[in-house]
Amino acid sequence: MRLFIAEKPSLGRAIADGLPGPHRKGNGCIETGGGTVTWCFGHILEAAEPGDYDPKWKPWPGTPADLPIVPKIWKLSPVPKAKDQLKIIKDLLGAATEIVHAGDPDREGQLLVDEVLEYLGNKKPVLRIWLSALDEKSVRQALSDLKPNDRFAPMKNAARARSQADWLVGMNLSRAYTISARSGGNPVAVLSVGRVQTPTLSLIVSRDLEIETFVPKDFFAVVARIESGPSGAFDALWTPPDTHPALDSEKRCLDRAEASRIAVRIKGQEGRLDVRKTDKSEPPPLPWSLSALTVEASKKYGLSAKEVLDAAQGLYEKKLTTYPRTDCEYLPENQKADVREILAALSKRKDYAGLAEGADPALVSRAWNTEKVTAHHAIVPTLEAASSQGLSDKEEKVFDLVCRRYLAQFYPPCRYTETVVTLVLAGEPFRATGKTPVATGWKIVTQTMDDDDREEQEPTLPPLSSGEIGRCREGTVKAKKTAPPKPYTDGTLIAAMKNVGKTLTDPGEKKILLETDGLGTEATRAAVIEGLLFRGTIEKSRKALVSTPKGRALIDACEPEVKSPAMTALWERKLEAISAGADPSGYQREIEGHVRRLIDSALKKSVRIPIDGKRCPKCGSGVLRRVNGKYGPFLGCSGYPDCRHMEKLPGTRPAQTAEAKGKSGKAPARKSPPGKRRG
């Protein structure tokens, strides 16, 4: 019996649909004429806790003497909610003669199923199915092209090396900095430090400090209102040479008196126009990577990174769009064969009927480039795009972005004429630019022009010819101020994480991060942001992501290499080598030594983290925090279980105390505070 092990149920169902009948639904599996399909629920195994290796490591955060925590033999534990499914896989594995690994087509997907097979002691042959889309045609093509799973072992090794290195950094440095914070005066501090999350937090803190310390500068623009016979009037801007003494390094005029003198001098002056027209075209934008899609959905709809990823994942699982966690914006040339069918599917939806019918499948945009396709191609609609019923509002918005960007590939470039007019007035150079639309092209696919496009749209100049005389009717000075950088939003932070290499000065490190994922991956960036929000190191102010006092204090305390993306660059260089077949053991030893040095540094610091909440009136050492108890939320002492003091949460009914219940004498059941167990 051939056994398919999928990463998740939706993937398993898609594979089953591509296999011959008869189909019969079993317990945690689907039996087909082409084999049995079962599935994981994402990771059904998780890294063991420190206390599972040694009882002395169980207390959190422990003592300096307990560090470092370095497992000699790494262990995995079943995720409690997935134990039943793990047993189903084990039983099916016993009856199988051949296994087909059906994890997601990336490093993490490779590790996810491989670690289950290793945990269960599988010795049977394993093949690999590589699925970038879940429509029936794509599944059947992939089923006809199974490959030996051991060919993908380097991907598994790289994912495991990354996971274990992140565990070592997170578990050890989170404890070390928490110990330092508690010795520095906050007895209930809980800090989380990680290879990706801490540099990401540092980006936000740095941006906030830039905004707070920003000192606006006044600068001045000189605008000439030009009349040219019957042609009409237009505005031209003073464009002095870079060496002009009134300009700063950013080519802005800081001297109001000089600007005013020029405005007075040019009034009534004439100059001969030099008019240059250039025909230009703008090709359709490339299809979406997850990062680009997140930036657009955040800007256009205010969606968070997690909301975009969840929507894109939902569309993928509904077989409407292709694999979402991709960093690629190109498509393989062999998928041109599906274009007519996908356009036909889109034409069945009223939103796209006219656009799909007007699309020209014979057009070949720059998106079709097999050489630029990485592990996964761009996010595009599938052959089943017509059956998009029952979508959530967020899924509808993301689906619309994906479909319109795909449709744009089959429309010609947008064409326009760019006009540049120059003239000299009283010895000073002036310049005006304008655009005249010639052909809308692919822009017809977008319902409305983006706000940014509207803001940047240049005025249309009147008909002008070189040699005409322009007369300055009026010269005016426009006072402006430099603006501070904008706070990060989910979208702009995702873009900054992806392009974080631009912040580095070392050419080698910069090159690595610009050529790879930057900070995090397409699959993890949304979770990193959510984690920072959950731990209270950042918060949302409308759409903006801003740092909290806790987040700033943590970044202030961290060593430069902990909060710099340079460490990620060095790691990624090693992981790429492992993905290419290098031995991961040397990388592991290097990380262990690195962590030991960082622990020593953290423990020598006196980290001062502000106490969030009022002191417990009973024990005097704990802090009152919101607790989601069995009978509703209440304020409880952070010193629980040693101190069981509780109070009514403002705006709620009084907490049900044990005394009020009259029997057990126990405090209401409560959840562990976030971050208590894991670094």
180-238 pLDDT, tens per residue?
999 988 887 889 999 999 999 999 999 999 999 999 999 999 999 999 977 789 999 99
Average pLDDT rounded to a whole number, residues 120-149: 92
Residues, the chain, total? 679
The b-or-e profile of 63-74 (16+ CB within 10 A means b, else e) is eeebbbbebeee
Instruction: Tell me which residue of 556, 558, 536 sits closest to 548, measured CA to CA.
Output: 536
Residue 310 has pLDDT above 70, yes or no: yes
pLDDT tens, position by position, 521-557: 888 899 999 999 988 899 999 899 999 999 999 999 9
Confidence of residue 651 (pLDDT cuts 50, 70, 90): low
Q: List the 632-637 sheet strands across, edge first.
A: 624-629, 632-637, 646-647
Residue 672 has pLDDT above 50, yes or no: no
> What is the spatial distance between Cα 161 and Cα 575, in angstroms, rounded to a whole number?
7
Query: Three-class SS string for 22-33?
Result: CCEEECCEEEEC
Burial level of 630, CB count in 10 A (0-12/13-18/19+)? Answer: exposed
Average pLDDT rounded to a whole number, residues 266-294: 97
Q: Give the other-Cβ count within 10 Å of 669's Cβ.
A: 10
Q: Contact, 293 vs 379, CB < 8 A?
A: yes
φ/ψ (deg, to 5) at 422: -125, 150
> What is the spatial distance between Cα 311 and Cα 399, in angstroms, rounded to a whole number?
8
> What is the spatial distance between Cα 449 and Cα 471, in angstroms, rounded to a whole number?
35
pLDDT score, position 458: 65
Q: Which DSSP string corresponds to 538-577?
A: EEEETTEEEE-HHHHHHHHHS-HHHHSTHHHHHHHHHHHH
> What is the spatial distance between Cα 329 and Cα 285, in angstroms, rounded to a whole number?
9
pLDDT score, position 277: 97
Q: Contact, 312 vs 525, CB < 8 A?
A: no
Confidence of residue 576 (pLDDT cuts 50, 70, 90): confident
Average pLDDT rounded to a whole number, residues 95-103: 97
Q: What is the pTM of this model?
A: 0.81
pLDDT score, position 518: 81
Q: Where are the domains of the chain?
A: 2-44+79-145, 218-283+414-481, 300-408, 619-679
> What is the spatial distance between Cα 55 and Cα 369, in angstroms, rounded to a whole number?
55
What does DSSP assign to residue 388? -
> What is the spatial distance between Cα 315 and Cα 133, in angstroms, rounded to a whole number?
11
Instruction: Tell me which residue of 480, 509, 528 sits closest to 216, measured CA to CA.
Output: 480
> What is the spatial distance between Cα 665 and Cα 679, in angstroms, rounded to a whole number?
33
Give, in words, the CATH class of 218-283+414-481. Answer: mainly beta
> What is the spatial distance between Cα 78 and Cα 47, in angstroms, rounded to a whole number?
9
Higher per-residue confidence, 205 vs 611:
205
Q: Give the other-Cβ count within 10 Å of 321's Cβ.
A: 31
Q: Give the other-Cβ count within 10 Å of 406's Cβ.
A: 28
| Residue for token pair 């079709």 | 368
Extract the tokens encoding 177. 């900095």
3-state secondary structure at position 480: strand
- Helices 525-534 & 490-498 angle (0-180, nearest 10): 120
Residue 660 has pLDDT above 60, yes or no: no
Find all residues with CB under 8 Å of 604, minimum gap 6, and list them: none
pLDDT tens, position by position, 136-153: 888 999 999 999 999 999
Q: Contact, 259 vs 392, CB < 8 A?
A: no
Give, in words, the CATH class of 2-44+79-145. Answer: alpha beta
Question: How open is the CA angle 79-82-88, to the nearest 5 degrees?
Answer: 130
Residue 669 has pLDDT above 60, yes or no: no
The stretches of 548-675 forming alpha helices (DSSP H) are 549-557, 560-563, 566-579, 585-603, 658-661
Q: Looking at the annotation, which residues are catalytic?
A: 323
Beta strands (DSSP E) in 426-509 are 428-439, 469-481, 488-489
Residue 359 has pLDDT above 70, yes or no: yes
Pairing verdict, β 646-647 and 632-637: antiparallel
Higher per-residue confidence, 652 vs 179:
179
> What is the spatial distance between Cα 415 and Cα 434, in angstroms, rounded to a whole number?
14
Per mean pLDDT, which range of 258-267, 279-288, 478-487, 581-590 is the poorest?
581-590
What does DSSP assign to residue 336? G
Across the chain, what does the average pLDDT equal?
Answer: 89
Find all residues with CB under 8 Å of 60, minimum gap 6, and list them: 175, 676, 677
Per mean pLDDT, which range of 325-329, 454-458, 485-489 is the poorest?
454-458
Average pLDDT rounded to a whole number, residues 509-520: 76
| Residue for token pair 């540092």 | 202
Architecture field, domain 300-408? Orthogonal Bundle (1.10)
On the CB side of 188, CA atoms within 13 Å amount to 22
pLDDT score, position 558: 94
The set of long-range contacts for 115-120, using a CB threshold of 8 Å and a minimum separation of 24, is: 115/45, 115/76, 115/156, 115/160, 116/5, 116/40, 116/44, 116/45, 116/86, 116/89, 117/5, 117/93, 119/45, 119/76, 120/86, 120/89, 120/90, 120/93
Residue 451 has pLDDT above 70, yes or no: no
What does DSSP assign to residue 371? G
Distances (CA, A) of 611 to 270, 466, 532, 624, 638: 69, 70, 18, 10, 12
Distances (CA, A) of 83 to 41, 50, 109, 174, 612: 11, 21, 19, 29, 38
pLDDT tens, position by position, 418-429: 999 999 999 999
pLDDT score, position 185: 85
Instruction: Tell me which residue of 485, 277, 315 sits closest to 395, measured CA to CA.
Output: 315
The set of long-range contacts for 342-345, using a CB threshold of 8 Å and a minimum separation of 24, is: 342/380, 342/381, 342/382, 342/383, 342/385, 342/406, 343/407, 343/410, 345/381, 345/382, 345/383, 345/384, 345/385, 345/386
Pairing verdict, β 538-541 and 488-489: unpaired
